[in-house]
Every structure is written in structure tokens, then in C-alpha cells.
Structure 1
Amino acid sequence: MTTTAPPAQGLAAGPVDRFTRRLRELTGPGLPFGAAELAALDRADAFPADAVRALDEAGLPRYYVPAEHGGALDDFTVVMRLLRAVARIDLTVAAAHGKTYLGAVSTWIAGAEEPARRLARRITDGEVVSCALTERHHGSDLLSGEVTARPAADGGWLLNGEKWLINNVSRAGLVTVLARTHDAGGPRGFSLFLVDKARLAPGTHTCLPKVRTYGIRGADISGIALHDAHLPADALIGAPGQGVEIIVKALHITRTCCAAMSLGTGDHALRLAADFAAGHAGDDGTPLARRPHIRRELGEATAGLLLAEATGLVAVRSLHALTGEMSVVSAVAKAYVPAQVDALIARLLHLLGPHGLLGPGDPHGQFAKAERDHRIIGIFDGSSLVNRNALIEQFPRLARGYRKGRVDAAGLAEATSPHTAPRPFRPAALSLLSTAGASVPAGLPAAVAELRERARDSRDGAGLDSLLSLATRLLDATERLHEAMAAVRFTPRAVPAEAFDLAERYELCFAAACALHLWLRATPATGDGTPAPDTWLRGCLVKALTDLGEPVDDAEAQALDDCADLLLGRPPGHFPSLLDQLRPGTPQEANAS
């Protein structure tokens, strides 16, 4: 898949704006995205068929198909924003619909033209595609999979075994299946197949019962059993033995795009809590939102979400600009963004008290549903533990690359310049491991040096000096972290617990570096030396340093209260998007819920 770059129009607001307007039109009593309708489906564990159908009619499936195959996918940032808009209303719907991309991406990566075009036509016509990787007794350990594919006597393949805890596998017409094609297994012992269920002989496959889940209750989480299911030769994706390699590269993409669903849920939870705090007063008549400790809680939650958004935005742009580093970037995005949103929701739950635990039939019950639903994102496409382990395996390369200052300067500038159209995505540039390290943290010394130069040249030197102090402490923490990473010694089956602590710290440093890079690229110093708006960046840096255990004084912590004002200053139904902060004066993006 090689996407075609769109005209240079920033983040392609056109399709996003049209889509979010359509979502608002579908939100209301009796409509597919009505709050009461979605709550009733949740209570009944029922699939949101009307909402999914409405997304089909709105054209969302076209954004799962690369432009060269007849679809609309030429910028992953647009896909992230579209899925985020859906998740902002209901995560169950976003997860149910977005999984078609996971089912299809292996075919796009494999690169065979005709199979890709056939699949593209099926998806744009509304076909659901699932991806069957996990098994009942093996979880995330794909190399232990027992589903087998054996050459059939008359050509093609025979599939046998069971895949379980698979999203959309009962509703899907097409299923990408990872199967063992060599008895010994191993990295070259598995292959991928695109199974067309309509072409299977009767009795050769069975859809397993839906699994009742804590969150996303209406989603089709089930399984499929295969019994000598005959597949034609052209069902093979790529070459025999390439299955694990293709799926790992595919996960570099889908793990990154999972950030969209976390961010949308975070938007929804933060807006619900802010509206609650603004609409309820204490005995003295003061709105809860204006009480200092609640304002600080809202500010820290806002800063956390902006930090997560910075990570997600840089990650999806890195698919285009830093493709060879995605083994690192995707692991950070998938581990950090859901964890940050989980922490945000937990913080807001304490603020809401019992109102945060009410059922979906109560006016405040949407928060409880968002809390339940979001728990699954940390598990989808590899858990946080799996992704942190993937980071730890790359510690030697990451530490060495940082020490040697290995930075893809052009790629980093593009990944952190949200107003420019990205270069075409080239899947051939994906790699199982990043050989050079990671440009985002490795570029931090140069970013701090640029900030120091701005502070020297700015009329508001004192203001930027305080920002520089925060950034310098971040740089110091990042340098100490890489030294600790270089000192870790481990074997694949005996990773020390402290390595996972270092991985979490790496995610924080990476996220804060994303925020600083974005600010520098998206808000260049003005010609008269006036500093660019930096409220959001201060909040992000204070939040990151606090989570790292670095010292922050009371005056610096005021940045969190300022972030609360970014949230509370917006009318009901709006949220503090980082994209608004990067483009002051642009229209606020409405909260479709």
C-alpha cells in the first residue's frame, strides 16, 4: 500500500467536519446515536446494528481502504479523527466498526494488487472483515497457536482449529486467520489466510457463542471453529511462512490507531465530568468546578488528555514520516494512551462520586458506561504488558541511538508538523524492529536548544525561561532514563520487573517530547519575538514531570489550573482539542455526544 498525498491543506478538515456534522444529525431521540437508544442496547448486550449501518452510509468504510485501491485512506490522521469522533459518542460502535481495518490491513501490507482490489470492493460495499489471531489457551502468545492449515490433496488449504475472543467474527463475511503451516511453528511456521465464510462448505465452520463482557457489552466478541474448512489457493495472504511478520507489521498500524478510540472516550468522560462540576454547586452556591481542589483535578485530567493526544497525533503521522521506527512508536502509543485515559477516568470518577457509578438509564450513567467500555482498549491488539515488553526488547537499540544522537530530522519535523500533508505511506518501510532507535526522544536535546534560543530572542524572555526550565528537567530525566535502560540485562523469558517501570517512564518522556516538538513546529516564533501560546504545553510538561516524580513547584503547578480553564471556558458539548491549541483562532470541534 502506498497512499497518495492529499493537497497541502493541513489535517484535511473537510472530511472530518462533514463526518462530525453527520454524526450530530444522527444523535437524538429515536436516532441511531441517541443516548437512550445506545443505553438500551448496552443494557440488553445487543449489537448496535443501526449505528453501524449509519456509519456505513456515512462512508466511513472508504477510509479503511487505501486510495490506490479505490478508497479514501491517504492520511492516517484523518482516520484517527473519524474514529475518535465515533468513540466520543459510543466506544462499542467505534470498536465494532473500526475492526474491519484490522481485518483488512494484512492484505494491504502483503502488496498483491488483485487480492487488494477485490477486498477493497467488498469493504466499500459494506462487507465486515474480522481478524482471528488469538486462541482460548494461548492469549497473546501467537507462536503457540494451534489452528492449522494443511495443503489439500486437490489444491488449496484445509483449516482446522478454534479462534476465540475475536471481535466481529460472527458478523463478518471475511476473516483473516493466522494458522500454523509448519509443525515446528516458530516465526516462519505460520501463514495468513483471508477466509470468505460464504465460500466454505456447509458444516466446515461454526460460529461460537457470544462472550459476555464487562464493557462494550453489545460488541460481537465470540469465536470460530474450523473443521477441515477448504480454502482456495488464492486465500493465502503473502507467502507461506510470512504470517507472523505480516501481522506484526499490521499491528504497528492498528495499535497506533487504537489511540483514536481512547482519545474519543477520554473526550467524552472529561466533558461529562466538566459539565457535572460546572452544573452543581455547594451549599455556598459556588459551582464545584470553581473549588480549588476540583479545578486542579479537572486541570490535571485535561493536561493528561492533551498529553495523550500529542502522543497519538505524532504516532499516526509517524506512520507516514517515521515508518521504520513504528515498532517503537506503536508500542508507546498503545501502552501509554489507553493507560493515560484509564487514569484520567479513574481521577474523574473520584470527582463525580456516586454519580459516576450510575447505570446507563440515569442522566449521569454515560460516565459509568464509558468507564466500563474503555477497559478493553488496553487489551485490544496487544495488552499494555505486551507492548511494554516489546519496548524492553529494544532497550539496547533505543539507548544506543539516543547516545549517538540518531535522529531522522526530516521525518521528525514532518511527524510533528500537523498543518502539512504527510508523505505517502509506504508499508515496505515497516520493520519488525527499529534499527536506528527513536527520533522523538533522540530529538529532544535539539528541541530544548531551540527553545533556549527562542527564550533568548523573545520579548517575553521570563515567560519562556520558565517553560525552558520545565523542558530542561524533562531532558535531564530522559538522559538519566536512557542510561538506566542501557544498564538493564535480561533474557527474553526473564525480564526484570524494574524494566517495566523503565518502559513506563520511557512512555512519559516520549509523550512529553511529542508535546514539545509539536509546539515548536506548529507555533513558530513570530517575527516580532512575541511568544506563541503555551498554556497547554506547560500543563503537559508539568503533568509528565509530576508523573515521573520530578520536582515541580507551586507556581509551575498553576499550569494545571490554567488547563482547567481551557476545559471550563468551552460551552457544553465542546472539548479542549490539542488541534485547537496548535491552531489558535480556528473553530472549536464540537463534541458529537
Structure 2
Amino acid sequence: MTTASPHTTAPDKELTRLLHELSAPGLAFSDQVLAALDEQEAFPADAIRELDAFGLPRYYVPAEHGGALDDFGTIVRLLRAVSRVDLTVAAAHGKTYLGAVSTWIAGEPGQAARLARHIREGAVVSCALTERHHGSDLLAGEVTAQPVAEGNGGWRLTGEKWLINNVTRADQVTVLARTDPAGGPRGFSLFLVDKSRLAPGALNHLPKVPTYGIRGADISGIVFRDAVLPADALIGEPGQGVEIILKALHVTRTGCVGMSLGAGDRALELAARFMTQASSQGRRPAELPCVRREMGEAVAALLLAESLGMVAARSVHALTGEMSVVSAVAKAHVPAQVDGLIARLLQLLGPYGLLDADPHRRFAKLERDHRIIGIFDGSSFVNRNALIEQFPRLARSYRKGRWDEEGLAEATDPRAPLRPFRPQELRLISGTGASVVASLPAAVAQVHDLAGSSASHRLVDLAERLRGATDRLHEAMAAVRFSPRAVPGHAFELAERFELCFAAASALHLWLRGPAVTDEARLRGCLVKALTDLDEPVDEADREDLDALADALLSAPPGTVPSLLDSWEGTTR
């Protein structure tokens, strides 16, 4: 096992170097070892220990509680680094942050301090929300917590939680339970359950559930049998459970983006490696124009997702009150985009993409593993439904040109210092709409001002077409009428289009706030991809930017993928 060293460089870059070293044959992150664990559906315990030794748990603990987390983007980048190598390991290790965040948001100071200490010492935390018969319908939950009158008080927890990541291996579990028999939004509370403090027989773990992807992960269940919890197990106030969880999901859904981006990096790298190998006829597949175009579309899809992911992670700090919108957009769009690019590349690989032989089994495993990321912390359907509920506010703020100028500048400039994350500013509904999209007309006006100097006339034209599509979209959003349980099908199509506009606007804002050397061609590729997916007319000359993206990927050094953010960081990943 490795020994952690002081972090003198960006932690994600240090972790990336470590993972490369640990990918040597026979070591914990080697393709052969991870493939064997996947085949056996075995938990990647050695890989998890290496991440613990590196000190990754410190980044799940906010700095104010003694940890290393002062920028949420760090979590996204660290999970991305691990996911480039193996999604099972990333999902298994990253669950601790997902399990702890409710305490960071609403826990008492002493409760948060204890949990922080346990995590720094290696404790694993899980989050038990779903139940066997209710899926994502949290208000239908049947697990109950009743006040205990005798002794020192506390709560008596009873019932089953199922399909929970890491719940068997976890030392502590955040549990959502019904505390009012009538249920409803104020009928549930959250509890941080320390297994070591429960009486014998108070819980038992259910068998591991076989899964299509991330086969080695601990996906199982837990049954509480009159488990008596101390009074200090309650997170927040009685009846606040659903509200706290919804706010926590605004953060954790954004964290899931890192796993999808890492999977996208891996897919592009594996495909590029295959496409640049000579066939039996001596010609490389990458030399075929149709292959280059498909590869370019896949790169553009990842650049769009990356732009959205970067802005979403910074928005946790800078646009906290808008995270109900930002997180829903990020969680619906990024996994879906990466699923799409994996499917696109799988078509190019043909039967080789699904062969159960090294190296092709790596792509087949990646395809299986990533499917579950879109389900974690709410599926795309759930997130789009949450977005649709805010259509009136989003359309109104766009029409009025209303946005948080200071927060937007901070969210879209990777070099700007971030304000501390203030959980108390999280809202279930955004009061200011979506600043990233509402400010798009102003951003397009800036591009016009740069025409002929820092911006080409082709970029001006693409940006103007994006604005037109966004204008028409918000008119359609404003016209949607629905009741809470009768959302029309076309509203989900509009939500998907809003995600594309948000992602493209993110890329445009990032470019505008970047230095003069920022690569315009990559931005144009993003806009061409977004306009194509929005069914806007795009001519062949515009599509040549996609070929340029393919060339950048196919000529990149092994283990790197072109990034829209390279110009700001000064290096490739």
C-alpha cells in the first residue's frame, strides 16, 4: 500500500500520477486486476485502500471541519481522475461524501465535527433513501422513526432500505425515515446512524444485489429492527428530512458529473487507441472521413459536458441559490451526453467494442458501468421533472434579462477565487432563474464586439444562432401548462433542449472569460454540436470544426483527452 505524501500540486493531478503508477501489471488499478474483480463481482478493496492511503477521504470533509475541501470542483476533478481508471472504485469510494453531505448542510456543529473526525480516520458513510417498493418516491417511504419516551430519549428506527450503495460496508448511514404517520413533505426526518452504537440484533444486512454494471460495488440493503438511536442522531429538526435531502442532492448530483466525465475521457482514449492502429490492410480506421467525423462529434459532446460540469461545480459556491436548476441540468445532461458518446464510439468499434478479450473488454466494461451513473441521485427523468416545475421562473428571468452578475462571473472564470460554500443559501426553488442562460444574449453581444479581433465571424454567426434557438425555447417553456402529476410529454423535450442551451452557454461564458490564447476552434465545435442536437441548421463548413476536434484527439499523447479548459490550466490532463 502506498504512503500518502504532502500535496504540493493540484490533488487531482497528483492522484492521476499515482493511479498511473498503480496501473502497472499486478497492482490494484491494473486493467487485469480490475477486470478479474469485475468478472468475480468482487469488491475492489485493495484499490479503495490505496485511495485511503492517498488521503482522498480528507477531500470529503469541509475545511471548516478539519478537512481539505474548500472548492467543490476539487471533488469533481478527483472523482473524474478515479473514474478514468474504474467507475466501480469511484462509485464505491465517493459514496462517503454523498452520505456525509446532509450533515455538512444541516447537522449540529458537534455532530459534524464527530463525523468529520471519523471520515478522516477512515470511516465509510452511506446514504439510505430508497426502498424496495417505492423507488424514487421518497414521500412513500415506510421506514419509521418513533420518539423513545423512556431513558435518555432518542428514536426507534424500524424498516428496510434497499438498493443502497456501500450500505453493508458503511460504518455510518444517513437514513431518511417517516416520523409523522401522515407523511407528506414535513413527515420525514434524517438520522445519522452509527452502527457501532446500536444494540446487537438491531440491524441486519441484505445480500448483495447483482447489477449489470459496477458489478463489484456493494449494492445491497439494510433492515432496522427497533434500532434505538440516541437523540443526537437526528440531523436538523424533526420534519426537515426531505428538505435537507433535496438540498443535499443539489450538491451530490453535481458530484456525479465527475464520474461521467471520467468515463467519457476513458471512452475517447480507448476508441482513439483502436482507431490509430493499422488494420490488416495497413490502413488506420482514423484515416476514414466518416470515422473522423464521428470521433469529432464524440469529442464535442464531452467538451460540452465538461463546460457544464465546470460551471456547475463552481456554482455550488458562486450561485448557491440557483443549484436547484444547475444541479438538475448537470445531472440530466452530462450522464446522458456521455452515454451518447459511448454509444457513438461503440458503433465505430463494431464487434470489437463488446469482445470479452483484452483490451476490448475495457470498453465493454465501461459501457456497462456508466449506465448506472445516470440513475444515481435521481434519473434524468426525475431531474427533468424538477426542472419543468421551474419553467415559469426560468422563462420570466430570461425575458426580463435578470441574472446574478457577480455570481455568474465567479462561476464562469476558473481563475477567480471562490467564496466559501454557504449551505444556508441553498433553495428548493431558484429565485433568480438560471444566470448562465439568462445572460446568454449579453454574452452573444460581447462576441459581436470581439468580431474581427479575438472572435471570428464564424463564431459570431454560431453564437447568434444559439441565441435565436434559446429565445424560441423560452417562449415555448412559458407556454407550458400542467398540473404536478400530469406533466405533458413535450415538456421533457423542452427540458432536454434547455440543458443543451445551458451547456453551450457555459462553454461560451468560459471562453469569454479565458485568456487570449483560448482555442476558439474547440468552442466552435461545442456550439456546432449543441446546434445540431437542437435541430438547428448547421452547414458543412461548420462541421469541419468537428473534424478538427477529432484530429486533436487522435494526435494527443497517450492517456490525454483534449479539454476546453487546457488553455486555462496550461497543460493537458
**TM-score (normalised: structure 1):** 0.94
Distance 2:52 2:185 in 1: 37
Query: Retained in 2: the 8 A contact 1:263–1:341?
Result: yes
SS at match of 2:451: helix
Query: Retained in 2: the 8 A contact 1:536–1:581?
Result: no
Q: How many Å apart are 1:202 and its aligned residue? A: 1.2
The structure 2 residue matched to 1:16, chosen from 12, 18, 37, is 12
- Asked if 1:338 corresponds to 2:335, the answer is yes
Q: Deviations over 1:189-226 (max 9, x none)?
A: 10000001111111111100000000000000000011
Q: How many Å apart are 1:111 and its aligned residue? A: 4.3
Q: Show the counterpart of 1:326.
A: 323
Q: Show the counterpart of 2:450.
A: 454
Q: 1:18-57, aligned counterparts within 5 Å?
A: 18-57=14-53
SS at match of 2:211: coil
- Asked if 1:487 corresponds to 2:479, the answer is yes
Q: Show the counterpart of 1:235.
A: 233
The structure 1 residue matched to 2:207, chosen from 198, 206, 209, is 209
Q: Show the counterpart of 1:73.
A: 69
Q: Show the counterpart of 1:91.
A: 87
Query: Retained in 1: the 8 A contact 2:518–2:567?
Result: no
- Asked if 1:533 corresponds to 2:519, the answer is yes
Q: 1:248-397, aligned counterparts within 5 Å?
A: 248-281=246-279, 283=281, 285-359=282-356, 361-397=357-393
Distance 2:337 2:363 in 1: 17
Distance 2:359 2:540 in 1: 37
The structure 1 residue matched to 2:155, chosen from 157, 163, 170, is 157
Distance 2:446 2:316 in 1: 25
Q: Show the counterpart of 1:186.
A: 184
Quote the RMSD (CA, aligned, Å): 1.2
Query: Retained in 2: the 8 A contact 1:83–1:98?
Result: yes
SS at match of 1:437: coil
- Asked if 1:496 corresponds to 2:488, the answer is yes
Distance 2:159 2:22 in 1: 41
Query: Retained in 2: the 8 A contact 1:194–1:236?
Result: yes
- Asked if 1:430 corresponds to 2:416, the answer is no
**TM-score (normalised: structure 2):** 0.97
Distance 1:441 1:266 in 2: 25
Q: Show the counterpart of 1:6.
A: none
Q: How many Å apart are 1:423 and its aligned residue? A: 1.1
Query: Retained in 2: the 8 A contact 1:519–1:582?
Result: no
AA aligned to 1:482 is H
Query: Retained in 1: the 8 A contact 2:523–2:564?
Result: no
- Asked if 1:522 corresponds to 2:514, the answer is yes
The structure 2 residue matched to 1:571, chosen from 527, 545, 557, is 557
Distance 2:38 2:346 in 1: 20
Distance 1:384 1:17 in 2: 30
Distance 1:434 1:147 in 2: 31
Q: 1:386-425, aligned counterparts within 5 Å?
A: 386-425=382-421
Query: Retained in 2: the 8 A contact 1:208–1:225?
Result: yes
Q: Deviations over 1:35-94 (max 9, x none)?
A: 100000000000000001110000000000000100000001111111100000000000
SS at match of 2:190: strand
* Unaligned residue ranges in structure 2 (runs of 5+): 1-7
Q: Deviations over 1:280-320 (max 9, x none)?
A: 3363x331112100000110000000000000000000001
Distance 1:414 1:427 in 2: 17
Return closer, same or farther for 1:532/1:345 CA change in 2, 3 Å cut-off. closer
Q: How many Å apart are 1:25 and its aligned residue? A: 1.8
Q: Show the counterpart of 1:560.
A: 546
Q: How many Å apart are 1:532 and its aligned residue? A: 4.6
Q: Show the counterpart of 1:103.
A: 99
Q: Deviations over 1:217-272 (max 9, x none)?
A: 00000000111000000000011011011000000000001000000001001100
SS at match of 1:353: helix
Q: How many residue pairs get matched?
A: 564
Distance 2:168 2:58 in 1: 22
Q: Deviations over 1:336-366 (max 9, x none)?
A: 000000000000000001110012x422110
Query: Retained in 2: the 8 A contact 1:179–1:191?
Result: yes
Q: How many Å apart are 1:535 and its aligned residue? A: 1.1
Q: Deviations over 1:384-434 (max 9, x none)?
A: 000000000000000011111111111111101011221111101100110
SS at match of 1:222: strand
Q: How many Å apart are 1:505 and its aligned residue? A: 0.4
SS at match of 2:238: coil
SS at match of 2:191: strand
Distance 1:13 1:287 in 2: 38
Q: How many Å apart are 1:578 and its aligned residue? A: 2.5
Q: Show the counterpart of 1:3.
A: none
Q: Show the counterpart of 1:4.
A: none
SS at match of 1:300: helix
Query: Retained in 1: the 8 A contact 2:518–2:568?
Result: no
Identity %: 70
SS at match of 1:279: coil
Q: Report which stretch shifted further, 463-472 or 320-329.
A: 463-472
Q: How many Å apart are 1:579 and its aligned residue? A: 2.0
Distance 1:73 1:532 in 2: 29
SS at match of 2:548: helix
- Asked if 1:551 corresponds to 2:543, the answer is no
Distance 2:371 2:141 in 1: 25
Q: How many Å apart are 1:18 and its aligned residue? A: 1.7
Distance 2:309 2:9 in 1: 17
Query: Retained in 2: the 8 A contact 1:448–1:475?
Result: yes
Query: Retained in 1: the 8 A contact 2:296–2:546?
Result: yes
Q: Show the counterpart of 1:8.
A: none
Query: Retained in 1: the 8 A contact 2:171–2:196?
Result: yes
- Asked if 1:128 corresponds to 2:124, the answer is yes
AA aligned to 1:56 is D
Q: How many Å apart are 1:582 and its aligned residue? A: 3.9
Distance 1:510 1:104 in 2: 29
Q: How many Å apart are 1:16 and its aligned residue? A: 2.2
SS at match of 2:323: helix
Distance 2:360 2:290 in 1: 22
Q: Report which stretch shifted further, 500-509 or 194-203.
A: 194-203
Q: How many Å apart are 1:14 and its aligned residue? A: 2.3
Query: Retained in 1: the 8 A contact 2:188–2:239?
Result: yes
Distance 2:46 2:564 in 1: 31
- Give the structure, 1 or 2, with the largest relative contact order (CA under 8 Å, sep 6 or more): 1
AA aligned to 1:485 is M
Distance 1:471 1:132 in 2: 44
